[in-house]
Amino acid sequence: MEEFPEELRTPPVALACLIGCPEVHPLITAHLHSQQPPINAVALPDFSMIPPKKPPRDTLEPPAGIIKRDWFSKHRTRIPAVVAAIFSSRDVSGDPAQRLQVCNDLDKLKASIRGRNIKLGVLVVTKWNDKDNTSEERILALRKRAEIDSKNLIIFVPDHEPELQQCLSRLWTVLGELANTYYRDEGRRVRSRLEKKNYSSMELNVRYCFKVAIYAEFRRDWLEALKLYEDAYHALREMVGTSTRMPPIQRLVEIKAVAEQLHFNMSMILLHGGKVLEAITWFRQHTANYRKLVGAPEVIFLHWEWLSRQYMVFAQLLETSSPNALHVPSTAPVAEEKPTEWEFHPAYYYQLAASYLKEKNTCLEFAISMSVDVGSFDGSAESVVASAYLGQYSRLLEHEDAFIMQPLTDMEYAHYALAEGKRFKDSFEIIALLKKSFEAYSSSKAERTAAYCGLQMAREYFSLNDFSNAKQIFDSLANLYRREGWLLSLWEVLGYLRECSKGMSSAKDFIEYSLEMASLPETTGFSESFSKDCGPAGPATPSQREKIHKEAFEVARGESELNSDEQNSAFKVKSDYPIYLEIDVISPLRVTLLALVAFHQPMVKPGGQSLITISLRSQLPINVEIDQLEVQFNQSECNFIITNGQKPLSSTDIVQPGHRVETAPDLVLATNKWLRLTYDIKSDLSGKLECIYVIARVGPNFTICCRAESPALINDSPLWKFENRLETIPIKDPGLALSGQKAIQVEEPEPQVDLILHSSGPALVGESFILPVTVSSRGHAVHSGELKINLVDTRGGGLLSPRGEESFSSENIHVELVDISCDAPQDQSEAPSDKIQKIQPSFGLISVPSLDMGESWSCKLKIKWNHPKPIMLYVSLGYLPRSDEPSLQKVHVHKSLQIEGTTAVAINHRYMLPFRKDPLLLLKLKSISETDQTPYLALNEKTLLIISVKNCSEVPLRLLSMSIETEVKSDACTIQPQQEEFREAVVNMPGEEFKKVFTIIPKVKSTKLKIGNVSLRWERDSNATSSQVTKYRLPDVNVELPLLAVSLECPPHAFIGNPFLYSVKILNQTEILQEIKCSISDSQSFVLSGPHSDTMLVLPRSAQVLTYMLVPLGLGSLQLPRVTVASVRYSAGLLPSNASLLVFVYPTKPHVDLKPPGDA
C-alpha cells in the first residue's frame, strides 16, 4: 500500500488559497485544518504571486494516456477550489491610491481564476476598534468589484477573541460552500461530456469518469464516487481488447496500473464505510477480471507481480481500515457465492500475495534464463523513467540542453522490466508475507491453515538454502501431519527435511527421515507421471521408497558419503562418527523398527528359567539384515547378545566378556513380518526383571536402540490405522500376544525362619500392652537381621487424633509403640554399632542378632493405647541367610496381627439430695426449661455423689483405690472421703458395676465450680501387669444458696395404733419475711392432728416447724399424708416424692436384736 502516494491513501480534502495580509494566514490555516471536514489552504503573501493564466489546451489532440500521474495530487495541493482575497481595512478605506491598488489586485486575481472556474471570497481585516469606522459604501463597492454575494465577504477581526471565533467559523462555512460549489460545477462540467458522449476515445471516457469520481470524493459524495469509479473500471476493462494506441505489452501494463488505481480507490471507500462484504466481492471480481490477462510470455512475471500486489494491498487495506469512518450507502451487489470465512481475514490475502509473488519469481527466473542479452540493455535501463501518464514508461533523452521523453518499444520495455526484476530479491518479501499470514492464522487457532502457510514459508527458506529455519518449520509440520495421518503431505515434508539434513550435513537426521519415509504406508493412485510436480522427495511410489531405503542404508553402513551440493562438503559415517538412533514409544521411527518383548510366565522363582520372546517388525520396503542384536535388562547380568549365524562375529563387534552370546540362524527383517526369537532367561535376584532395550547393529557404525514394548500395551500409529495390510500377531501364542509383558517378577527365596507374635487378647486403654515376638530359625541362619514394626490403623485413619496433629504429644496419639525390650544377644562379640533401635510412635526398627540354624530370639513390644482403637500390627523380618554374600537380596518374613483396644472401665456419676431434705434453688427451677444440664448444688448443704464403675472389658479387673482429686487445693467444697484405698481389692467381673458414695458440701457460691477428677486405680485380675489409673473428670456444677429449705421429719417406722410425730421444718435463709402456704392431705391409713391448711410467716434467718401427730391405722408400707408447702413470694411449691413419704408400720414392736453382734 505504501507504493500509493499519501494523497491516494487518505480521503480528499478541499483546497483553498489565501492571498494577501500574510499576518493572518497562520491563524486561518490552522482553523480551517482543524475543522471537520477540514480544508487545506495554500497561502500566497502577495497578489503579485498569482500564477499567470494557462494557455488553452488543444482538445482535438488524441490523448497520450489514460490518467495523468499527477492529476490528483495537483488538485489536492496546487489547484484551489476557492480563493480568499484578503485586504486590510486600511487599504479599503484609505486614500484613492490604496483603493486603486486594491481594485487592481482584485481584477488581476479575477482574471487569473476566471478560466478555471475557481470561486472567490473576500476578507477585510480590521481592528476591533476600527470596526465601525470601515465605510459601508467602500465595502459595498469592493463586493461589487469582486462580483460576489454579500455572504462571501467577511469582515475579519483578529484582535478580539469572541469576534475572531465567529469570523473564523463563518470563513470556514463560506469557503467550504464555495469549494463544494466548485467541485460540483467541475464535476457537472466533465459529466456533461460523459452524458453527451462528447469524447473521442475510450481513454477520455475513463479519464472523465475518474475525474468526476474524484470531484465527488472532494464533495464527500461517496455513492457517486463509487458509481463513477465503477463506470471507469468497466470502461477500462473494455479497452483491453480494443485499444491500439500503444504497443500491446505497455498497453496492458498501463490498463492494469489504472485498474489497480481505480480498484484501490473503490476499496478504500468501501472498507472505510464498513462495507467489508462488498469490498471483498469487488476484490474477487477484480482479480477474476484480470487473472487470465497474463500478457506476453516474456513479461508474464509482471502479471504475477501485479496480481500479488493486488492481494497484498487489499490485505493491508483490510487490516488498517477502520469501519464506519465514512458513511457509504450500500451499492455493490452481494455475490451469489458468499465469501468464505477466511476471505474476511487479511491473512488469506497475504498468503495468496506470497504465492503469486512466488509465481512471479519462477516466471522471472525463466524469463531471465530465456533472454541471454539482458545485459546489453543494462546501461540504458537507467534512462527509463515513469512518464506523465499512470502506468506508462518512456526514455528520457537529453537533447540540446533539454529533456525529451521518447516512447519505448515493447522489446525495450521488456528488457527494462527484466533488468528491474533482476535487481530485487523477492524471497524475503515472500517469507515476510507468509510469516504475517502464519502468525494471524496461528493466533486464530487455525492450526492446519497455518500449517499450509508454514509449508510455503519453509519451502521458500529451503530455496534460499536457509536449512536451519526451513528444518524448524518442516519439523513442526511433520509432527502435525504425522499426528493426523496425512500421508502425502507427510511424505512431501519429510522429503524436504531429508534434503535439509543433507544440506546441514547431519547424517543422523538424514537417516532418520529417510527411514521414516521408506516405512510410510503405500499411497494409492499415484504413478510416476507426477514426478515433475513433486518436491525433492519425488513421488510416493514403492520404487521411490526403495530408493530412499537403499540410500539411507548405504550412508548408514558407510558405503556412500552424504553429499551436500550447496556447501560442497561430504560426510561419511565411520568409526569416528558412528550413528546411534534411539526409538521410543512416541518416536515416528517405531514403524521402522518395533521391538516387542514378552516373558512367557508372569512370575519365576529365583534361579528358575523363563522363556522370553523378542519380536521385531519393520515396515521398510526391502529386507534388512541385522548383524547383531543386544537385549538389555534392568538387571545387567541378564543382558545377552544374539549374533547373526550367517555372518561370522567380526572383531569390531562389541561383545563384553562374560556376557551370554546366542546365535540365531539369520536375522533378516522382512516387510511387515515378525522376526520372532525365543530364548531362556534366568535371574537370581528377586524383584522385577524388565527388558529395557533391544539394540540392533547394522554395519560397524550404525546402531538402532529400540525401547522394548509389551505386546499387551502396543498401539498402532495413526498412519497405519486404516491401511490394508496383513495383520499378524507378534508371538505365536495368541494369548501371549495379547497379554504378554516385557517385565517379570522374580520371587523372593522361601524364608526358613519363623516369626511368631504372641497375642493375649484385646488390649485395654491406659495399660502398656506387652506383646512378645519370637524369631526362631528353622532352616536358615539369620544375619544382619532387622525387625520392622508398624502400627497401622485398621480403618485407614491416622493414629493421631485430629486435634493432635499440630501438637505432637503422647496424649494425642491413639496408640503408640512405647518400647521394645529384647533379650541380650547370646553372642556378645557383636559390635554395638550394629545394633539399631529406632522407636517412633507408629514405627519401630530393631536389629536382630545373628542366629544360627535352630536358634531363636525374642523381644517384647510395649504398646500403649490412649484411646480405644483397633490397630493392625505389622512385623517384618528381613535377613540374609548367609553372611558372606552381602550382595544377595534379603529374605523377608511378614506377620500381622489385629489387636483390639478397648476401654477397661466406664465411670459414671450421679448427685443426690439427702433424704427428705429439699432446698429451694431458684436458678435450678428456672433452668429446667433450658438445655443447660449442669447440676445445681445447694450451698452449705450436704449432697451425695455416687460414682459407679462398670467393667467394660472381657477380663475381671481388680479395683484398688478410688479418689476424687480436686484440681486446685481450695476450700470451695468439702468432699468426704477424699481418697479410699480398698482394704481388699474389689474384683469387678466383666459387665459388673461397682458404686461408691461420696458426700460433697459446697462452701462457695459459684457457677461452674470445678469439682475435680475421679481417679480409679485398677489392674488386671491376672496380676501379670502393673496397676493402671483411669481418670474421669466430674463436670462443673452450679452452687447456689437455697432460699428456703424444707425437711420432713418422721421416724423410720411406726407401730399400729401408736401415735408418732411428723414434722415439716421450713428454714428461711433470706433476710426477708417469707409467707408460706402449707397444707396436708388426708390419708385413709392415718389419723392426723395438726393444721390442715394454713398460711404462716417465717421470720428472716429462722425456722418454722409444723408438727403433726399421726396414728397409723393400717399395716405395712404406707404412704404418709402428703404435705404441700408453697412459697408465695417465689411461687414455688414443694411436692415431696412418693419415696420420701413411705413409712413401714409394724403390728407390734418387733423382737429383733438390733444390736451389733459384738455388743452382746
Chain residues binding another protein by CB under 8 A are 337, 340-343, 352, 355, 441, 446-449, 451-452, 455, 481, 484-489, 491-492, 523-526, 530, 533-535, 540, 718, 721-722
In 485-597, which residue ranges form alpha helices assigned H by DSSP? Answer: 487-503, 507-518, 542-556
Q: How many CB atoms lie within 10 A of CB 1090?
A: 18
How large is the C-alpha radius of gyration of the chain?
58
- Shorter beta-carbon distance to another protein: residue 288 or 928: 288
Q: How many CB atoms lie within 10 A of CB 724?
A: 7
> Three-class SS string for 727-768?
CCCCCCCHHHHHHCCCEEEECCCCCCEEEEECCCCCEECCCE
What minimum distance in Å lies between the beta carbon of 3 and another protein?
A: 24
Angle at 703 between CA 700 and CA 709, to 5 degrees: 150
What minimum distance in Å lies between the beta carbon of 442 and another protein?
A: 11
**CA separation for the pair 630, 1091 (Å, rounded):** 120
DSSP string spanning 1078-1142?
Answer: EEE---TTEEEES-SEEEEEE-TTEEEEEEEEEEE-S-EEEEPPPEEEEETTTTEEE---TGGGE
What minimum distance in Å lies between the beta carbon of 422 and another protein?
A: 24
**CA separation for the pair 712, 615 (Å, rounded):** 13
Q: Which amino acid is at 372?
A: V
- Shorter beta-carbon distance to another protein: residue 480 or 692: 480
What minimum distance in Å lies between the beta carbon of 524 and another protein?
A: 8
What minimum distance in Å lies between the beta carbon of 625 and another protein?
A: 33
- Shorter beta-carbon distance to another protein: residue 340 or 1007: 340
- Shorter beta-carbon distance to another protein: residue 448 or 1129: 448
What minimum distance in Å lies between the beta carbon of 314 and another protein?
A: 15
**CA separation for the pair 230, 282 (Å, rounded):** 10
**CA separation for the pair 706, 626 (Å, rounded):** 13
Pick from 1000, 1016, 1116, 1105: which is nearest to 1061 by CA? 1105
Return the half-sphere exposure (C-beta side, CA atoms, 13 A cut-off) of residue 554: 10
DSSP string spanning 1073-1095?
Answer: -EEEEEEE---TTEEEES-SEEE
- Shorter beta-carbon distance to another protein: residue 342 or 1032: 342
Q: Grid coordinates representing 65? A: 494516456
- Shorter beta-carbon distance to another protein: residue 483 or 758: 483
Q: Which amino acid is at 921?
A: L
Query: For helices 96-114 and 136-146, what crossing angle results, to 10°?
Result: 30
- Shorter beta-carbon distance to another protein: residue 442 or 1047: 442
What minimum distance in Å lies between the beta carbon of 318 and another protein?
A: 16
- Shorter beta-carbon distance to another protein: residue 344 or 808: 344
Q: Grid coordinates representing 540? A: 510416493
The residues with which 595 forms a beta bridge, in sequence order, are 616
Between the CA of residue 24 and those of 84, 125, 170, 943, what are the distances in Å? Answer: 12, 8, 15, 115
* Burial class (CB within 10 angstroms; exposed 0-12, middle 13-18, buried 19+) of 552: buried
Answer for the pair 125, 102: CB distance below 8 angstroms, yes or no: no
Q: Which amino acid is at 639?
A: N
What minimum distance in Å lies between the beta carbon of 326 and another protein?
A: 29
| DSSP annotation of 57 | P
- Shorter beta-carbon distance to another protein: residue 529 or 809: 529
**CA separation for the pair 343, 885 (Å, rounded):** 78
Q: At residue 112, what are phi and psi to the nearest 5 degrees?
A: -70, -40
What minimum distance in Å lies between the beta carbon of 486 and another protein?
A: 5
Q: Is the peptide bond before 990 cis (omega within 30 degrees of 0)?
A: no
- Shorter beta-carbon distance to another protein: residue 294 or 922: 294
**CA separation for the pair 756, 945 (Å, rounded):** 49
- Shorter beta-carbon distance to another protein: residue 403 or 722: 722
Answer for the pair 1106, 1090: CB distance below 8 angstroms, yes or no: yes
- Shorter beta-carbon distance to another protein: residue 198 or 523: 523
**CA separation for the pair 708, 1021 (Å, rounded):** 67
- Shorter beta-carbon distance to another protein: residue 342 or 843: 342
- Shorter beta-carbon distance to another protein: residue 356 or 599: 356
What minimum distance in Å lies between the beta carbon of 182 and another protein?
A: 45
| DSSP annotation of 709 | B
- Shorter beta-carbon distance to another protein: residue 183 or 481: 481
What minimum distance in Å lies between the beta carbon of 738 and another protein?
A: 16
What minimum distance in Å lies between the beta carbon of 836 and another protein?
A: 58
What minimum distance in Å lies between the beta carbon of 444 and another protein?
A: 9
Pick from 972, 1037, 1043, 979: which is nearest to 1002 by CA? 972
What minimum distance in Å lies between the beta carbon of 495 and another protein?
A: 10
- Shorter beta-carbon distance to another protein: residue 484 or 793: 484
Answer for the pair 105, 92: CB distance below 8 angstroms, yes or no: no
What minimum distance in Å lies between the beta carbon of 481 and another protein?
A: 7
**CA separation for the pair 864, 901 (Å, rounded):** 9
Q: Grid coordinates representing 630? A: 543386544
- Shorter beta-carbon distance to another protein: residue 457 or 782: 457
What minimum distance in Å lies between the beta carbon of 487 and another protein?
A: 7
What minimum distance in Å lies between the beta carbon of 366 and another protein?
A: 13
Q: Which residues contact 466 (CB under 8 A, 6 or more apart)?
A: none
What minimum distance in Å lies between the beta carbon of 484 and another protein?
A: 4
- Shorter beta-carbon distance to another protein: residue 675 or 719: 719
